[in-house]
Structure 1
Amino acid sequence: MKFEQTDVEGLLLTELTSFGDERGFFARAFCDQMFAENGIEFSVRQINLSGNTSQGTLRGLHYQTAPKPDPKVVRCIRGAVWDVVVDLRQKSPTYLKWYGEELTAENRKALVIPGGCVHGFLTLEDDSELLYLMGEEFVADLAGGQRWNDPAFAIEWPFEPKIIADRDANYPDYIVS
């Protein structure tokens, strides 16, 4: 497993190191020890799946607030998505900076997302599915979101979404502090 620092502080892109033969391949997708060796404190508290029927489906931007911010590892296991993270940690040197990456079942990349960042994605193919390793359990009262097209972030999406939940489409503008 390879770890690469992105332009957002603490947001890492991982790539699998796979071993192949006539049967196919084998790769380690998560390892506590490898994460620790790369300075990442993360323990899996919950595992989630997100199935998305249609290309052009947008989910996000979602987060969970203190006292239980939700760090996560996100991997596309079927299809393809444009995955986006925005740093909302006010004391971070990359506050309000966003990062986008194409995650696909074929490239097997994943994002290691620190708590305090918002996350969302746009499906690039029909029948796209994401696997989330969550560093915290979901707490409904702490869940929130920011609008996907908020001008405070100026995210460059590959195209306009075709399907988006009313909740996600109607989050208020982010108040920059």
Structure 2
Amino acid sequence: MLVFRRTELDGLVEITRTPREDARGRFARIFDSQDLLTVGWHWPVQQVNFSQTSGAGTVRGLHYQMPPSAEAKLVTCVRGEIWDVAVDIRTGSPTFLGWCARTLGGAGLNSMLVPPGFAHGFQALSDDVSVLYLHSAAYAPQDERGLHAQDERLGVTWPLPVRRLSERDSSFPSLDRRFTGVTP
């Protein structure tokens, strides 16, 4: 069974599942295009990625792709727990630069549906984290951008001290007043 919870940021949806369990283990459907149509996923899946993160406190992100490669993501933590963060960077949005976070975990297999026009990242809350991402667009390095995870203008409250930012992620500059967002 799926439950969709709209968040305070328009288009950003938390999805919770009730896995089926028996003596063999458990089963949960991660992606069903018909179910997700009701909450705005109308794109074909172009790419599926998997990340494994070691060390609680490690942060990945905040990443996004510029048009024409803007993408939606369905993010599911399949092992451990993460603090999943999405930042609204849509030009003209009433929640521009607002952020929303949810704990995603392998025990519950909940997900976040992150629409185009959002930057996305997460912090590992446990020492061994595995995350599955479904993307509506293929990776386009020329259109990739990022926001610094500790940008004071964003004010993201990370639950643990930030550790192990990659060289790329730590090189993202803080936003200046000229940043007016993206049009997905």
Aligned residues: 177
Q: Distance in 1 between matches of 2:123 and 2:87?
A: 14
Q: Deviation at 1:19?
A: 2.9
Conserved in 2, the CA contact under 8 Å of 1:35 and 1:42?
no
Q: Deviation at 1:54?
A: 1.7
**One-letter amino acid of the structure 1 residue matched with residue 35 of structure 2:** M
Q: Distance in 1 between matches of 2:53 and 2:149?
A: 17
Look up the match of 1:15: 16
Q: Does 1:69 align with 2:70?
A: yes
Could you report, residue by residue, the CA deviation over 1:17-51 in whole angstroms, capped at 9, with x for unpaired residues?
33333433332211111111334313210000011
Look up the match of 1:56: 57
Look up the match of 1:84: 85
Q: Distance in 2 between matches of 1:25 and 1:145?
A: 36
Q: Deviation at 1:159?
A: 1.9
Q: Distance in 2 between matches of 1:164 and 1:154?
A: 17
Q: Deviation at 1:170?
A: 2.5
Look up the match of 2:46: 45
Conserved in 2, the CA contact under 8 Å of 1:96 and 1:153?
yes
TM-score (norm. length: structure 2):
0.90
Look up the match of 1:25: 26
Q: Deviation at 1:13?
A: 0.2
Conserved in 2, the CA contact under 8 Å of 1:9 and 1:93?
no
Q: Distance in 2 between matches of 1:80 and 1:149?
A: 20
Q: Deviation at 1:116?
A: 1.2
Q: Distance in 2 between matches of 1:74 and 1:64?
A: 16
Q: Distance in 1 between matches of 2:70 and 2:159?
A: 28
Q: Distance in 1 between matches of 2:152 and 2:163?
A: 20
Equivalent residues in 2 for 1:1-177 (5 A)? 1-176=2-177, 177=180
Conserved in 2, the CA contact under 8 Å of 1:71 and 1:135?
yes
5+ residue gaps, structure 2, are none
**What's the secondary structure of 1:84's corresponding residue?**
strand
Structure 1 stretches (4+) deviating beyond 6 angstroms?
A: none
**One-letter amino acid of the structure 2 residue matched with residue 154 of structure 1:** G
Conserved in 2, the CA contact under 8 Å of 1:6 and 1:13?
yes
Q: Percent identity?
A: 35
Q: Deviation at 1:90?
A: 1.2
5+ residue gaps, structure 1, are none
Q: CA RMSD in A?
A: 1.4
